[in-house]
Structure 1
Amino acid sequence: MQTVNKTKKQPSRFKSVGLFIILSVLIIALSVISLSLGDINIPPLDIITSFIGIGDPDLTSILVEFRLPRILLAILTGVGLAVSGVVVQSIMRNPLASPDTLGLSSGSGLAAVAVTILLPLASPSVLSAAAFAGGSLVFVIVYLLAYKKGVEPIRFALIGVAVSAFCSSGIHLLISKANPNVNAALIWLSGSLWGRTWDQLIGLLPWVVILVPLIWLLAARLDLIHLGDEVARGLGARVELIRLVLLASAVAMTAAVVSVVGTIGFVGLIIPHVAKRLVGPRHKKLIPIAALLGALFVLGADLIGRGIAPPIEIPAGLIIGIIGAPYFLYLLWRESKK
């Protein structure tokens, strides 16, 4: 019997490893294409010579100072939003949940728009700090309002939607009363990787590098919570503590992403569903695959936005919205059928 069980488990494991390798190769290939394309197309040979230090200094400057940090930032953005989406959907046990349900994006957006409009001379670091603080504050408010001898997922989601609507109204109010800085606010709200540098990348890197492994290490606990609070408690899990740690990790990571690239929706909603179709619901496999799919999704959207009508750039958030909105409607239809 043991031999039969091992034989049954091997194909699934090999499938996950093979999928991990394929997605990694696709990300590398897309990164090379993204390095090549732009206002100035750079052949692959010139890219190689630039990175080994014998290429044209001007091309090297374009690659290292502008394109490479943008590509790496797109990868980190996709990883952070996708893994946060996995956590939120599992904890709330709601396939339509996402980081947006927590009011996080709206809170970050309200703070960022307020700084952009009210303090037009503020540095990008101040804007990022304000967005992070706004998202974190909204999460704390939602959590405190939802807490009543524990946090029920449905109550948490409903309060999150209500607070998110309140923050969205505040954003529209600020924009309607805004000065010419409204254009900068709208670009930020659409979610764009344009003009991002190594400074923003370095600011986001620790959050993703630390929190994604932490969430992955808690994958078994996340499996238990996904089964229901009573089942998890019956198996000895400290449900409230684990839920708080996981939610706080997802919130912190999403707030860090939003504070750097703006509000990019649908990644945390769509990618977990696609990953589950590929490897199933077990979080030990689901989290790495979702992270790679998220990176591939955002990287591809940014590449399409840059290449569809150069030199004009379409923000990655708009491209993702065009793709994500129909899929969201499909999810709504599928859940209504159930």
Structure 2
Amino acid sequence: MTNPPLTIYLAAPRGFCAGVDRAIKIVEMALAKWGAPVYVRHEIVHNKFVVDGLRAKGAIFVEELSDCPNDRPVIFSAHGVAKSVPAEAERREMIYVDATCPLVSKVHIEAERHSAAGLQIIMIGHAGHPETIGTMGQLPDGEVLLVETEADVGTIQVRDPARLAFVTQTTLSVDDTIGIVAALNARFPAIVGPHKEDICYATTNRQEAVKEVAPRVDALLVVGAPNSSNSRRLVEVGANNGCDYSQLVQRSEDIDWRALEGIRGLAITAGASAPEVLVNEVIDAFRARYDVTVETVETAIERVNFKVPRVLRDIQLEA
């Protein structure tokens, strides 16, 4: 019996972005420089496979600096941390390396610059997400107000409507954020926005690729973690752009084969913290059940590269 035909449309770009690649490299280089264990405050990136791989090499993941001993290096995750965290590390005379994505750091600097000019900040983001906590923690309490939806804009209480600026989490849905920004501009006409979009290039590119493939297929699978904001946004983008079955899977074992019965076209993408090996694992699972043709749909080419911190630049990793 022959397997039924299936065309898989591979969205590109997908998977690792420059910030994630840099953060993982920082942990590996720290292990090479200082040996195990190296402590990492919060998951370095939101992907269990990546975190488990680094844990096997000697990284210890903790949620708070208080869980780290003073005599071992600690790395801050790609999502960024509040100013109080490095201040506490310095007080304890710890060795620390900041793996915050440079594009998240850009938002931090932006918020500080606006605050120094006397503006109160409104942050568009998700409550409780590490990046949101880190960005809001750059300034004293009350200086950054959070909105998650257009409805929030109508109820937020500000100090002075004429002296406001806004920033955004880097991993939001581009389409959803447009509506929230419009609501902010309508209620606060004097509000100051970013010189350049805060939503990062990788988030935007991955969402655009999904918009391209979603209308062509019966189903979309996003390889990523449930606590990955950008991965969850890709699922939403697929559902909002013509693909009724749009689902997140961490590994091939999460695929709901019964829900996919009878499909002829499938799109696959991956969140910015999901490695390509997991994408290949999912494709191989389909090859075992279907006569698969793979077609790449590329909507952008990424050539972004971020340097690791100076303290690690003399370390050479084995290929």
* Bigger share in strand: 2
Q: Comparing both structures, which one devotes a greater share of its residues to helix?
A: 1
